[in-house]
Amino acid sequence: MGNERVKSSRRKFLKSAATASVAIVGYTWLKSSQFLIHAAEPEDKNLPWYGIVIDIEKCIGCGMCAKACKNENDVPAEPFFFRTWVEQYTVKNDGSVEIISPNGGIDGFKQTVPDEDIFKSYFVPKMCNHCAKSPCDQVCPVGATYTSPEGVVLIDEKYCIGCRYCVQACPYGCRFIHPEKKVANKCTLCYHRIKKGLAPACMENCPTGSRMYGNLRDSNSEIVKFLKEHTTQVLRPNLNTGSKLYYNALSSEVR
């Protein structure tokens, strides 16, 4: 009798243990099977979720932002490496578009198109879009690129293997391989500064205040107010990168 009882309770235990392990494995598998879907979620509702606004109407193309960024973030001076840069678009009367960005705009711009041929001209500052569904974060094979709890896309330089897949994956051309550190590099929204409550170097140095960053989750923040009052657009919306860089007065020529 006693033997039978022990056996039956053992059987019961084994049964429930098996069910539990199947459930655990199944749950883990289901959870990890979301690997095909890539999106950063705000982890902590109390933390800010940063977005950026660039007002094209205010940019005068002085290039101070790009210069300040290089100084602040140890970006090589050569014209092949930029965390932020400025482009000049000139739409001609014949409909063709001329785009230039000599040295990322750091030395300013000289209009090369004769005045009488110009339909319109404007400057577009570029930087990392800190996408919520960032393709660069998605493809990093080791997870050296990651999204901070505040929605800032960052790189762990001690971890990056330099495969360059992220550079290929960024549709905005915002990444490069740092020639001395030999790892991927990009705009961090000056994470080291914003954590201390300071503005990123490019925004600090913009003479016209055409760049702004802020907490998208705070309905009273300046950035949310701006987004409410203006018609803004992100770059390449068709790619669904979840870009958090909103442009005011973005013209259709810009990609």
Partner 1 sequence: MEPNYQHLYEILANSQGYIFPNEIDLQWGILIVVYPFVTGLVAGAFILASLERVFKDKILKPTYQIALLTALSFLLVATLPLISHLSQPQRAYEIMITPHGSSAMAIFGFVYLWYLMVVLLLEIWFDYRHSMVVWADEKKGIMKWVYRILTLGLSDISPRTLTWDRKLGYFITVVGIPSAFILHGYVGFIFGSIKANPWWSTPLMPIIFLFSAMVSGISMVMLIYMVVSYIRTKTMDINVLDSIGKYLFFVLILDFTIEGLDQIHRIYEAEESFETIKLLVEGKLYLTLFISQGLIGTIIPLIVLAFLQFYKGKIKLRKTLYFIIGILVLIGVYSMRWNVVIGGQLFSKSFSGFTSFKVGLIGLDGTLMAAFWLILPFGILAFLLWLLPPWKMVQEEE
For the CB of residue 74, give the shortest distance to partner 1 in the complex, in Å: 14
Nearer Cβ to partner 1 (76/149): 76
Site residues (vs partner 1, CB under 8 A) = 32, 35-36, 38, 76, 78-82, 85, 87, 97-101, 104, 126, 135, 137-143, 159-165, 167-177, 179-180, 182-183, 238-239, 255
For the CB of residue 232, give the shortest distance to partner 1 in the complex, in Å: 20
Alpha carbon separation from 202 to 86, 213, 227 (Å, rounded): 11, 11, 20
For the CB of residue 13, give the shortest distance to partner 1 in the complex, in Å: 34
Nearer Cβ to partner 1 (7/255): 255
Nearer Cβ to partner 1 (50/176): 176
Nearer Cβ to partner 1 (169/227): 169
Nearer Cβ to partner 1 (199/250): 250
Strands 211-215 and 50-55: antiparallel
For the CB of residue 196, give the shortest distance to partner 1 in the complex, in Å: 28
For 136, what's the count of Cα atoms within 13 Å in the CB-facing half-sphere?
A: 31
For the CB of residue 87, give the shortest distance to partner 1 in the complex, in Å: 8
